[in-house]
Amino acid sequence: MAIADYKQLLGDHGKDTKLNLSSLFNSVDTSGLTTDQFYGTALSLAYSLGDEELIQTIENETGDKVEDNVKQAAKLAATLMAMNNVYYRFLHLSSDKQFSKMPAGLRMNAMANPGVDKADFELFSLAVSALNGCGLCIDSHVKTLVQHDVTAQAIQTSIKLAAVLNAALTARKLS
């Protein structure tokens, strides 16, 4: 199913979410994101949210608008952020700073070559990090994106995608 069909499954409580989904997915060209960035971010978020119906919807909506390398990078971002967001959120929130001085010892080699442009992968990772609530990760990704001259509008759109897809899943579960 596509986004238009998914919206119909949301109850009256999801009215604003339906409008926000339409607004985002009907204005990809003016979102500040490239097609790869927009759909790669949406896929990363769907994979992170882990709901099969939402994943299928976003995959169907994406269709052949992006190449397979973008789809694989979205899966990579979701997977790596599932690990990193927990670990670095712990470091950020723990009052015992000894843990920040210890080596993480976690493999993240794929981040060095995610198969897409560095800025694209950072956008995917930022959106997932916002979804997962890792402040340390958010700061790191935003800093890198700014260094790569990614616009504030592009960054904001990636976060709006996170917020709206999260709300869409909640509305769907409540329908």
134 is catalytic: yes
- Residue extents of the structural domains in the chain: 3-174
Residue 166 has a pLDDT of: 99
pLDDT of residue 21: 99
Residue from 78, 13, 14 nearest 43 by CA: 78
Give the model's pLDDT for residue 60: 98
* Candidates 137, 145, 154, 162; catalytic one: 137
pLDDT of residue 68: 98
Query: Which listed residue (76, 81, 130, 134) is catalytic?
Result: 134
* Spatial contact of 49 and 169, defined as CB atoms under 8 Å apart: yes
CA distances from 101 to 84, 91, 92, 97, 98 (A): 16, 10, 12, 7, 5
Token look-up 């978020």 returns 45
Average pLDDT per block of 10 residues along the chain, 175 residues long: 96 98 98 99 99 99 98 99 98 96 95 96 99 98 98 99 99 97
Q: Is 18 exposed, middle or buried (0-12, 13-18, 19+ CB in 10 A)?
A: buried
**Res 63: pLDDT:** 97
pLDDT of residue 24: 99
- Is 106 a known active-site residue? no
Which residues 6+ apart lie within 8 Å of 140 measured at CB?
A: none
- List the structure tokens of 19: 């409008």
Q: How high is the pLDDT of residue 83?
A: 98
What does the pLDDT read at residue 8?
Answer: 97
pLDDT attached to residue 26: 98
Question: What tokens were used for 76?
Answer: 């990579």
Residue of 111, 55, 56, 54 whose CA lies nearest to 79? 111
- Identify the pLDDT of residue 114: 97
Architecture of domain 3-174: Up-down Bundle (1.20)
**Whole-number Å distance between alpha carbons of 14 and 42:** 19
Beta carbons of 115 and 72 less than 8 angstroms apart: yes
